[in-house]
Structure 1
């Protein structure tokens, strides 16, 4: 069975094209639920009007499904609570000038 750490490592390969930072660093991953070979991820976007939303969701699902032991992944999009830059690691946020 996959671990949350393995899932996060896979999700770090998916980058926001505007900021060139991964989903985990940006704080866009809200929840990871592992049930045997199935993984459900709840994530957000930096903006509800993100033009590449579908692409990011597909990339996130593919990344999770690439983890050994994962047979099926679902990625759900949420805006509750809305994403803010405060979800980014403080060190990285400072480096970005946010």
Structure 2
């Protein structure tokens, strides 16, 4: 079995995460700052720590599942798990400059 390049796989995971958009905001969830951490193990298992814009977010059930499915669709990924946290709570300061620009906040 070939060695897993964690950084390379991590970048692929982030690219796939950037294809997922918040249904209420025309910005991908990575640029929105909803992804707190992407961890890749030597066994190509991916764990994502993410938050939602609010605990009552209308996609609280479906969004984490979509993130998990998209990551698992990468052939190099053996398994994926998404953990939701509200610590720290999301706020607009977590958004990238690109997202703020897109939403006219700059």
Q: Please, what TM-score do these two structures have when normalized by structure 1? A: 0.91
Paired with 1:16 and 1:95, the residues of 2 have a C-alpha distance of 13
2:18 counterpart (12, 26, 30): 12
Q: How many residue pairs get matched?
A: 98
What SS class does the counterpart of residue 53 from structure 1 fall into? coil
1:31 aligns with 2:27: no
2:31–2:98 CA contact under 8 A, matched in 1: no
2:27–2:102 CA contact under 8 A, matched in 1: no
| Runs of 4+ with >2 A deviation | none
Instruction: State the partner residue of 1:71.
Output: 78
Paired with 1:39 and 1:91, the residues of 2 have a C-alpha distance of 26
Change (3 A) 1:32 1:91: closer
Gap runs ≥5 in structure 2: none
RMSD in angstroms over aligned alpha carbons? 1.3
Q: Please, what TM-score do these two structures have when normalized by structure 2? A: 0.85
Larger radius of gyration: 2
Paired with 1:91 and 1:43, the residues of 2 have a C-alpha distance of 19
Gap runs ≥5 in structure 1: none
